[in-house]
Amino acid sequence: MLEEGTKLAVKAVIFDLIQTLTDPDSDKKLHMKIVDTLLKKFNIVSENIIEMTEKFNSILGRYYELAVHGGSFDIKYVLSSTLEEFLREFGIRSSEEDEKFFFRIYWDIHANNLEPRPGLIETIVGLRTKKYRIALLSDDTLDYINRVLKKFRILDLFDVVSSSEEIGRMKPHPDAFKLVLNRLGCSSQDAIMVGDSLERDIRGAKALGMKTVLIKKYPNDRIRVKELPEEVRPDYVISYLVDLLKII
């Protein structure tokens, strides 16, 4: 963790997407929409959509972690396994057609309902004005990433847009970060990674010698940076996206 007032000397800024550039609250709400759609599709009666959404998120998160620790990118496996286990809780066996339906509504609801974090455009435009090269590295599919960036009207402001699906390795695998660094044409020492995940964003970037910035999911979140292990300790922690303009 750098001393307050210290500026990071870099040439390029690499962003994560979900809950870094997107509003965490909108992510929560859209997962409720996904679960509600599944409950109606399969005639599952539930009086507590929040509880059902927590169950869904728990299953989804577990399969994502398995993919991350396994080092491979297979979002189809993550989603199909999530659907299978979620429906099994209600005695329903998912079919190939059910999977196709789920894949479609999962990405559509995400892309159509995500909202940007406050200050997103101001931050990206500010970085462009300062002549930084700007990139995005996400564990989502390229098609989905492009849909979200187009919706936010910032796709053309990025020099590089990369997905770990392109190399079959999810963050924090070094190959995911090397992919975007190569496309930017800069060394790891000249780039900064901005993300919301200590494990996926900060760990992977630090392992390659990149500077790192952790953005809090919510401004009031307390993060005991000095107590974090060195391998996941960010150089900076920010509460708002626009804070990035003050440190580089």
CATH code of the domain occupying 12-23+116-247: 3.40.50.1000
Specify the pLDDT at position 125: 97
The rounded distance, in Å, linking the Cα atoms of 94 and 99 is: 7
Q: Is 47 helix (H, G, I), strand (E, B) or coil?
A: coil
* Mean pLDDT, the chain, integer: 92
Please state the rounded mean pLDDT for residues 47-57.
93
Whether the pLDDT of residue 84 is over 80: the answer is yes
CATH topology for 26-113 is: DNA polymerase; domain 1 (1.10.150)
Please state the rounded mean pLDDT for residues 221-230.
85
Please state the rounded mean pLDDT for residues 70-83.
83
Specify the pLDDT at position 66: 84
Specify the pLDDT at position 5: 56
Whether the pLDDT of residue 72 is over 70: the answer is no
Closest CA to 193 of 116, 207, 70, 27: 207
Whether the pLDDT of residue 129 is over 80: the answer is yes
163-179 pLDDT tens trace: 988 988 889 999 999 99
Please state the rounded mean pLDDT for residues 132-153.
95
Contact predicate 141/170, CB 8 Å: no
Please state the rounded mean pLDDT for residues 124-134.
97
Specify the pLDDT at position 227: 87
Lowest mean pLDDT, pick from 65-74, 96-105, 132-141, 196-205: 65-74
Torsion of CA 2, 3, 7, 10, to 10 degrees: -10
CA 111 to chain centre: 13
The rounded distance, in Å, linking the Cα atoms of 13 and 30 is: 28
Kindly list the domain boundaries of the chain, sorted by start residue.
12-23+116-247, 26-113
Closest CA to 237 of 222, 227, 130: 222
Please state the rounded mean pLDDT for residues 42-60.
94
Specify the pLDDT at position 218: 80
Whether the pLDDT of residue 6 is over 80: the answer is no
Please state the rounded mean pLDDT for residues 243-247.
95
Q: What is the DSSP letter of 119?
A: T
- Split at pLDDT 50, 70, 90, the class of 189 is very high
85-114 pLDDT tens trace: 999 999 999 999 999 999 999 999 999 999
Whether the pLDDT of residue 57 is over 90: the answer is yes
Specify the pLDDT at position 94: 94
- Write down how long the chain is: 248
The rounded distance, in Å, linking the Cα atoms of 53 and 32 is: 6
